[in-house]
């Protein structure tokens, strides 16, 4: 093969070729880095926004005012869960207790609330109580209602505060009915 170029020119051409090749490689690498950066930009933005959301959630979680509400709600739910557990035990049939109260309800008695609870008594064991609130048309009707409740076998005692008899008409009352202990059998 014939060499038409002088060694100096040949050296210059090689240097030029190498510069062009190196610049082309650098340009391609720069383009690839730019494209890679653009492809990572959405991920970066999403990650940054999620990090700010998490920081906000942590700040909210540490907020004492909101935590009070959450703790209160948690306690309420725990109490409701305990009540449901108590009702699921079927030691006392709540529906039959309500049925006994409403069967003995006289015409002049208007009940506004019926509540049920179980209290721990170290001497007797678990004791259920039913609280009744309402209004009676008169003292006589209220006295007859209490007497009829005392006759129910499932009820151990029926307590009506003496202060309920202050008024003659439209008498507000609060009756506390103690049920037989879960450990003892009802008296017949």
Q: Does residue 131 lie within any of the structural domains?
A: yes
Task: Tell me whether residue 117 is in a domain.
Answer: yes
Domain that includes residue 158, residue range:
93-179
Under-70 pLDDT residues of the chain: 1, 66-67, 69-70, 82-92, 163-165, 181-188
Overall number of domains in the chain:
1
Query: What's the chain's average pLDDT?
Result: 82
CATH, residue 155: 3.30.70.60
Residue 72 to residues 79, 121, 176, Cα–Cα distance (Å):
11, 27, 28
pLDDT digits 0-9 by tens, 47-81: 999 999 999 988 877 777 766 766 777 778 787 77
Does residue 147 lie within any of the structural domains?
yes
Contact, 5 vs 13, CB < 8 A? yes
60 in any annotated domain: no
3-state secondary structure of 130: strand
Q: Is residue 72 part of a domain?
A: no
């Amino acid at each position: 093969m014939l060499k038409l170029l002088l060694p100096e020119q040949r050296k210059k051409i090689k240097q030029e070729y190498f510069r062009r090749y190196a610049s082309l490689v650098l340009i391609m690498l720069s383009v690839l880095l730019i494209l890679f950066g653009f492809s990572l930009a959405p991920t970066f933005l999403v990650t940054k926004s999620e990090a700010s959301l998490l920081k906000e959630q942590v700040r909210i979680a540490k907020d004492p005012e909101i935590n009070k509400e959450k703790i209160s709600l948690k306690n309420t739910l725990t109490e409701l869960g305990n009540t449901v557990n108590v009702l699921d035990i079927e030691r006392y049939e709540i529906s039959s207790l309500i049925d006994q109260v409403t069967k003995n309800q006289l015409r002049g008695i208007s009940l506004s609330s019926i509540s049920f609870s179980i209290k721990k008594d170290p001497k007797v064991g678990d004791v259920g109580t039913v609280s009744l609130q309402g209004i009676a048309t008169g003292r006589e009707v209220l006295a007859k209602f209490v007497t009829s409740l005392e006759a129910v076998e499932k009820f151990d005692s029926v307590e009506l505060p003496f202060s309920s008899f202050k008024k003659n008409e439209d008498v507000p009352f609060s009756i506390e009915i103690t049920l037989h202990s879960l450990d003892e059998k009802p008296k017949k």
